[in-house]
Structure 1
């Protein structure tokens, strides 16, 4: 959670100047891109090159070693055949630059990177066929198995014990529950947290650890049309939530966000699960906790979005995108219950795998 006033607020003219000064590029087009607490711009230079200028919020910018690991992880995935962005060096050869500027709240420092632009549209705009959901699960599992091989002197920065978006830290949501006062949703969230305490915490030592992307969501996965009239994944974006977690967390996060974009949310889990298990079959403890972990991610999304709105009321529409879609799905999953949802997911995953 970035602090209030941490989000940068550059003008287009500032972007043009920065791209010229840092990267020696003359911008012919600059367009703002949506973002949670950073600022992103689509930039085209006079020679037709396409880039994304990413300005990190001032809070996250205080941790250059973490940003360095995230930037390296993107390169490492790219080198290993996954479609991740890579950072372009500045004219002095650095992959990132700490820039001091005033965005209206006094002088602050913001970390700036210029990333390659990946073609495609967000998966939120594509029809989520079972095949595309399968590819999503498979890609997420491949990503985590590749990241597990990564070596870097600052790798320890990913042990982010207090990171509010880590699925290990569901219990810390209790401090934010007051933002749901008076809403029926609050009782559901409290119940999920209780389930997490009683069913996930005792089994967590059986989860296999890894490095998580941590935000494999419907706006961070890009797709392009493929030869068979379907879509293929063409990009994985935004490594700002990377942290040391568990394989099962990545799967739970992917299922939860794909449910948001599907007309029949409960049908999503099976295909994503089948794709995931084609790379990395779950162990018994992971299988048993998947339902509660998916619900836990819905709770994080809903509670933290409501909290962010109290900090940034002017950005309500963007902050509440996921939350508005997620609330009815969370209610639905909770009412159906663990046994019915898991039966649905695991049976359809088995059928899907049999057809492969």
Structure 2
């Protein structure tokens, strides 16, 4: 078994579990005394996540964990299920941020008084369809967790505005500043393929991109990151980060009495938390705001995020000059790993980034850095007297 923290995905590795609905019912009953009424599977790259509603919250092991909106049952992938200390850190981080007033899911205690358990999932295959679905998915022990369901719409589902981008920047900065005081051994030395400093390892996965021009663009971005970013990272500020502020992991709520106007109301998915550079956290958030942006030029979107971020944490010059390189690196990382994951498990969700991501990456990559930096600074300066 890998040591704690050694959870780096390798080419050809199948890690997503197979969890039919009957197993969700069994886990909810056996671990949480809950009778499931409805199950809705949620999108996920490597885990299995289910929004469940239940018949009676009062049977929970700790009634203080009751949530009126239901729960999310998470069955973690076979790699993360080895990293018990990391998952404990994720649970503790959610509780920590909740106490700081940043809305996020709350871990629910099971019948053993724990916020997670390692379960041996022995799937009983009874239907031909089940055999096909279970094929190639690893069996064995998986970490199972239950989290409170946070209501709201995902950012991806509402029209993007400069006001929302500004709020995203604020949220990223406030979260990282709050996490500066968070301590847990589980987030130290976490080595995984989705960490931005793992970009050089993407060369093992680019074969999954069939289009030669797109593959060449990815290789160029990866090589640039190795040559022009990695050597300059050491002096930069770092700390605990969320690691995946994307459009699927940020919740919004409609303003009361103002149809069509939204504000940010929650943070989801702490599966990528680790200690890393604040520059990476910011670049990751900007990358995903750009991809689906249709309300303005996608090259303007970063300026509004940066303006909000700068309100709470001033962006040092040695970080600002690396933003283009890091945003492009994350775009490439998402596109390469999306293509690879799809080759292993053809779920259309895995190609979400690719629908607009290649166009976004090319526009960003073709624009000179000096021009981009001026463009973003001009937008940031437009907020100074607001």
User: What TM-score comes out, normalization by structure 1 length?
Assistant: 0.93
How large is the RMSD of aligned CA atoms in angstroms? 1.8
Determine if contact 1:206/1:286 at 8 Å carries over to the other structure: no
**Does 1:273 pair with 2:273?**
no
SS of alignment partner, residue 44 of structure 1: strand
Distance (Å, rounded) in 2 between the aligned partners of 1:231 and 1:143: 20
List alignment gaps of at least 5 residues for structure 2: 1-8, 57-67, 124-133
Question: What pairs with 1:161-240 in structure 2 (closer than 5 Å)?
Answer: 162-180=191-209, 182-227=211-256, 229=258, 230-240=261-271
Distance (Å, rounded) in 2 between the aligned partners of 1:182 and 1:46: 50
Cα 1:86–1:180 change in 2 (3 A) is same
Determine if contact 1:118/1:234 at 8 Å carries over to the other structure: no
Q: Structure 1 stretch 96-105 or stretch 17-26: which is displaced more?
A: 96-105
Aligned match of 2:358: 327
Aligned match of 1:36: 45
Question: What pairs with 1:88-127 in structure 2 (closer than 5 Å)?
Answer: 88-103=108-123, 104=134, 105=137, 107-127=139-159
Aligned match of 2:4: none
Cα 1:82–1:91 change in 2 (3 A) is same
Q: CA deviation at 1:338?
A: 1.4
Question: What pairs with 1:65-84 in structure 2 (closer than 5 Å)?
Answer: 65-84=85-104
**Does 1:6 pair with 2:38?**
no
SS of alignment partner, residue 61 of structure 1: helix
User: What TM-score comes out, normalization by structure 2 length?
Assistant: 0.86
Aligned match of 2:332: 299
**Does 1:159 pair with 2:189?**
yes
Q: CA deviation at 1:181?
A: 5.4
Q: CA deviation at 1:191?
A: 2.2
Aligned residues: 350
Which digits, 9 at most, give the CA deviation of each residue in 1:295-338, with x for residues without a partner? Answer: 010010111111212222x32x1111112221110011111221
Cα 1:49–1:281 change in 2 (3 A) is closer
Determine if contact 2:16/2:138 at 8 Å carries over to the other structure: no
Distance (Å, rounded) in 1 between the aligned partners of 2:69 and 2:212: 49
Determine if contact 2:254/2:262 at 8 Å carries over to the other structure: yes
**Does 1:352 pair with 2:386?**
no
**Does 1:259 pair with 2:274?**
no
SS of alignment partner, residue 300 of structure 2: helix
